[in-house]
């Protein structure tokens, strides 16, 4: 093993992975609506709700220059590329499953 530099492992992952959010079919309902089937939970929506809840708590009391509550920061998808591979490659759009084409709703 000499000559091999060991260091931390970098794993770029989505927020839903970081928080262990897992969507399961019928995960809703709950004690307030027993027996009512629910739509599958969406891990990305659930992760967004975590971020929104944190924003509400962390921005409490912040004010803008005009004295009003500071505006919320919007989620920025500008750098997202659903066809990019974390190893550096990129899937050809023609080879992608339609469920992966979330970057441009006008161009399926």
* Other CB atoms within 10 Å distance of the CB of residue 8: 5
Distance (Å, whole) CA 53 – CA 5: 40
Backbone phi, psi, residue 69, to 5°: -55, 140
Of residues 40 and 11, the one with the higher pLDDT is 40
- Indicate if the pLDDT at residue 105 is higher than 70: no
| Distance, CA of 29 to CA of 34 (rounded, Å) | 6
Which residues touch 102 (CB under 8 Å, ≥6 apart)?
82
pLDDT at 95 over 90: yes
pLDDT at 107: 66
Please give the C-alpha separations between residue 40 and each of 21, 24, 28, 29, 37, in angstroms, as whole numbers.
13, 6, 8, 11, 9
Contact by Cβ (8 Å): 85, 93: no
């Amino acid at each position: 093993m000499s000559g091999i530099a060991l260091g931390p492992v970098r794993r770029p992952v989505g927020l839903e992975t970081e928080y262990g959010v897992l969507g399961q079919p019928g995960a809703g309902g709950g004690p307030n609506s027993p027996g009512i089937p629910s739509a599958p939970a969406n891990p990305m929506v659930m992760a967004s709700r975590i971020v929104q809840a944190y924003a509400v708590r962390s921005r409490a009391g912040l004010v803008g220059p005009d004295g009003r509550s500071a505006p919320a920061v919007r989620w920025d998808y500008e750098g997202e590329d659903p066809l990019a591979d974390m190893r550096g490659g990129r899937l050809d759009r023609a080879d992608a499953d339609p469920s992966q084409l979330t970057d441009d709703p006008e161009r399926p």
